[in-house]
Amino acid sequence: MKVLAYIDPMSYNNLEMYDVALLSNNKKFKIYFFCSTKLITQYLNGGVIKRIFNYNDKKGIAKVISYLISMFQLFIFVKFYKINLIHVQWFRLPVFELYYYKLIKLFYPKIKLVHTAHNVLPHNFKEKDKKYFCKLYLLFDSIILHTENSLAEIKKLTSSNTDKFIVIPHGILKYPFSSNDIQKKLNSLDFLHKLENKTVFVSLGSQHYYKGIDILVNVWLDTPDLRNNESIILLIAGKGSIPRIEELVKLQNVIIENKFIDDLTFVTYMSLADVVLLPYRKISQSGVLLTAIGLRKPVLVSDAGGLSDPLKYGKIGWKIRAGDSVSLSEKLKLLVSNRKLIDDVLNNFEGWNNVVKNYEWENIQQKTFQLYEHLLSN
């Protein structure tokens, strides 16, 4: 049986769900899961958990040193466990990691290297780091992308049309909360009564410019059919900079929780949604979107990255142009004026089933393991 090292230094919260869903019930390989000390999962059916990364709660140089120590430990584990393939989920220090994996290739030339580029370039990447990501992508034996848009982006970045780049979708995110957990949280909300008989639009998670929070805010405030409409509610929940917030809080149909929200709160707020809003300017794929699909919540997405990909498999929402306030305004006014459009999407069971099937973890694991087998057979 071939031996794999699966490496995710950020394996907690929704990233932990991704890792565990991908690796669970593995019967084909011996997999060592090198992860964060913040990983909650105690047992992985089909893998061995090795918590070696504890840099997350440190700051400054201590954070860097901690990460480097963990990577040194990993180098030793690779030899000790006789690893055949390494799958890396995230690069944290691209300059260092470029030379680190060159050393891996030098000392262990038979080892295959795989990386999942969840974002071809990080949201907050520095221009000087771009060349290191490019070199890392060309160094590895295979790069997994989640969307066709990301595939085109990485080919442009690397000026390469190599077949080492492969698209495997990101699976649906399902949080481990029971209906009782969510109901208890709902009962604790002091604004729950405001949502009765209202159409609820939600913007969840960290609020950033690249996610188009400014576009949403401006459209809501500057459109009388939205800001003065007593039959609708806009719920914005998450940490980040929300523009014109002093104007928003004065509106009767806007609720703002401008702070970090934990996973249970995140899922609870999404359970309240009639439509989940994702007017992003730039993105590869979104955990918010994949959670919404799992909960079968209609989505209003921009055409940035792969956000609109699920709509190819079923009518589960609507698409707008990225960065276009007019497009968002027109679509929101349409939905507000005709609630039946939302209900038709919500009740489109065939469409939801088709979308969910495409993003099932069983299929994604199968495609990933087939890639492993292909690389190890060469």
Listed in sequence order, the residues at least 6 apart from 234 whose beta carbon sits closer than 8 Å to its beta carbon are 201, 202, 203, 216, 220, 226, 253, 254, 255
What value does the mean pLDDT take over residues 83-89?
98
Return the pLDDT at 176: 87
Q: How far apart are CA 174 and CA 291, in angstroms?
A: 6
- Residue 373, both tokens: 């087998």
Return the pLDDT at 13: 85
Using pLDDT thresholds of 50, 70 and 90, give the confidence band for residue 163: very high
* pLDDT cut 90: percent of the chain above it: 93
* Residue 216 predicted with pLDDT over 90: yes
Q: How far apart are CA 103 and CA 76, in angstroms?
A: 12
Return the pLDDT at 312: 95
* Residue 201 predicted with pLDDT over 90: yes
Residues in the chain: 378
What value does the mean pLDDT take over residues 172-197?
94
pLDDT digits (tens, 9 = 90+) for 306-322: 999 999 999 999 999 99
Q: DSSP character for 194?
A: G
> Would you give the end-to-end CA distance of the chain in angstroms?
16
Neighbours of 91 (CB within 10 A): 21
- Which domains can be identified in the chain, with CATH numbers? 3-171+360-377 (3.40.50.2000), 179-358 (3.40.50.2000)
* pLDDT cut 70: percent of the chain above it: 100
Using pLDDT thresholds of 50, 70 and 90, give the confidence band for residue 284: confident
Q: DSSP character for 117?
A: -
Using pLDDT thresholds of 50, 70 and 90, give the confidence band for residue 129: confident
Q: How far apart are CA 317 and CA 74, in angstroms?
A: 44
pTM: 0.91
pLDDT digits (tens, 9 = 90+) for 34-57: 999 999 999 998 899 999 999 988
Q: How far apart are CA 281 and CA 79, in angstroms?
A: 43
Using pLDDT thresholds of 50, 70 and 90, give the confidence band for residue 352: very high
